[in-house]
Chains A and B, each alone.
Chain A
């Protein structure tokens, strides 16, 4: 069942059986999932048809043309991009059946309880403890910078189950219920004024063993599935020419001749070239994926876009002169979704600072490129074979 014609026939049948115009949005999305047209590369029965990933575009185009609703991927990015591939790769059959449908449909938002005050880049140093108690695990600790914890129903969580093992080997991976009474979510205000992310305090949170993903002590390996998909989902979106940040400043440049200077013109053209090349590189990456020849270029995309977004939004604030001195509003809000290019130039400038931190810092990504892509030797390390409890903190 990988044929384009069959896929189109199936899509048209879905549209005929559930005409978007008079079907409830959630009902339509559920029916789409059940027809295997949610993510065609997923298994049959879990929203897919075991078809090549590239064929998703055929379905999406047909549905979009018919005015069908989508699942608002911007609101459920962590679920789609990170939780789902991990559940699929490491969950039991019951776990996959329970979680994937409401995740994809958007009925249940997910968040990622990974980073801690003492464990960011060095995530494997994390200190949140999970202790076995009968059929449950009891979790105590603190997570931080947790995006969408305030809207999430579920979380992917990594916690330490064996403090005597070296740090990478004593971690276990869980699905955590965000409505558990032991979960406390406090907004953490950002430099933009609002709070996309949160601090999350976990006190005696009970997680059934059935909600463990992978083996006890194997959580670091399971987390690699999540982290690899995080980088792909951050860098993978398709962009038209002058899409994203460069389009904003180019529009201002065209509309406001009085703001132009020669020095800004040179820098604008530098960035325009870089943005167009990054767009072409993203397009090339997609063509490689479609051809079944994925390259390591995905990690390059996130690095490139972080740098570009920061440089371009910085230029835009300067270009605006007097207006660049102003800021839309500093009111503390807890937004439901992240909008990198929304709002005004000042917001874009500040928000883009996070692009080189979230999902792995640019420094850490450069280490990964150097070691895994170029094969350069690692730095000497002194933390690999030491029990976690004996490490300096």
Chain B
């Protein structure tokens, strides 16, 4: 009865802990109460899709903004595993909140600098308490291993409108630029639940946090954490799409039977469930690899992104299709999920980019 054993070190912990389950329940209850789909549909075409007061409740009262930040800097001293659970819930509810941008990408970037820079440490403390929101001034599409933009003007910066401070990469290092010293020009996003803007900052503005090499390494670390944890947002979103589709097709009758009893539909939903089993394992693996600082983290984050992006888009597309005409309407929330899923496919690196990273990491070189 001998079985082959894992060649790598410690196997990843792919389950949810009780603390994580409790955190999930708290976040889910808050979102259901304050940011239901009808609330979102009423906000997405106003100046700001963010539900007033929601960030304060989630970041401050439940304390999720500081999950990645050590306790001595005012954070919760938790890990990427807990942040991933928050993102699953934000994905399920397609909530507009600067969580991924500020509490993950910007926070993780600053965590890389906190030892060297008092300014970075100070900013981290503010972010951890949820009092300040930061955005890294790069396009949302930037992959962890991408060329980083250095211009004064950067487009498609996510949650720029919510940011109090921008982290701006320049040739000589990383700067913290207060939002009131920057020009923020909103763009019209495909995904109305994650606003985008063009951000312009003057050459000398802000305070320098790090020199060029440390800055690049820090930004890469921030983007890697973002990519790895985006998989959890995609997982949550796909789960909602499947649950909603199952619920609807069980109730909707055509031809004198529930449409969910037709095998052509059942197989498509069963297939989605199968994909979700994989997505959950991949997303958990990425969160745990980031939490433990595993050397495997860049590989597993890329695997999780390549896989979960596809699953989320498929789940949202199936959700629209299997709802029929009602799935095509503005009043049904399926389109919120579809637009988020499609934008997430590009966010933090496309599937192709992640696959290229995998090829390089595991030695599967292209031709030539």
B7 and A377 within 8 A (CB): no
Given contacts A269-B355, A272-B358, A377-B258, contact A70 B15 (CB under 8 A): no
Contacts of B8 in A (CB 8 A): 240-241
Could you tell me the distance between the alpha carbons of A238 and B4 in the complex, rounded to whole angstroms? 7
Total chain B interface residues with beta-carbon distance under 8 A: 52
Residues B261 and A273 in contact, CB atoms below 8 Å apart: no
Q: How many A residues are at the interface, by size bracket?
A: 35 or more
Is B14 located at the chain interface by the 8 A CB criterion?
yes
User: Within 8 Å of chain A (Cβ to Cβ): is B271?
Assistant: yes
* B364 proximity list for chain A (CB < 8 A): 250, 253-254, 265, 268-269, 272
Q: Are A266 and B273 in touch, CB under 8 angstroms? A: no
Chain B: minimal CB distance from A274 (Å): 7
CA distance A191 to B27 in the complex (A): 54
B168 CB to nearest A CB, Å: 34
Kindly list chain A residues whose C-beta atoms are within 8 Å of the C-beta of B265.
376
Known: A70-B2, A281-B278, A283-B11. A375 touches B250 (CB 8 A): yes
**In the complex the two chains form, is B258's CB within 8 Å of A291's CB?**
no
- Report which residue of A70, A237, A261, A366 has the largest number of chain B beta carbons within 10 angstroms of its beta carbon: A366
CA of A261 to CA of B249, assembled, Å: 43
Task: Tell me whether A283 and B281 are in contact (CB under 8 A).
Answer: yes
Inter-chain CA distance A243–B2, complex, in Å, is 16
Q: Are B274 and A300 in contact (CB under 8 A)?
A: yes
Q: Are B269 and A283 in contact (CB under 8 A)?
A: no
B164 beta carbon closer than 8 Å to chain A = no
| Closest Cβ–Cβ distance, residue B245 to chain A (whole Å) | 9
Proximity string of chain A (247-275) to chain B, C-beta cutoff 8 Å, 1 when within and 0 when not: 00010011001001110011011101110
Tell me which residues across on chain B come within 8 A of A387, comparing CB atoms: none
Report if B188 contacts A (CB, 8 A): no
Distance in angstroms between the alpha carbons of A54 and B267 in the assembled complex: 33
* Contact yes or no, A265 B359, CB < 8 A: yes
Chain B residues, Cβ within 8 Å of A240: 4-8
Nearest chain B CB to A36 CB, angstrom units: 14
Q: Give A contacts to B, CB under 8 Å.
A: 38-39, 56-57, 60, 63-64, 70-71, 73, 237-243, 250, 253-254, 257, 260-262, 265-266, 268-270, 272-274, 276-278, 280-281, 283-284, 287-288, 291, 293, 297, 300, 303-304, 363, 366-367, 369-371, 373-380
Chain B residues packing against A (C-beta within 8 Å): 1-8, 11-15, 242, 246, 249-250, 257-258, 260-263, 265-267, 269-271, 273-274, 277-282, 284-285, 303, 306-307, 355, 358-359, 362-368
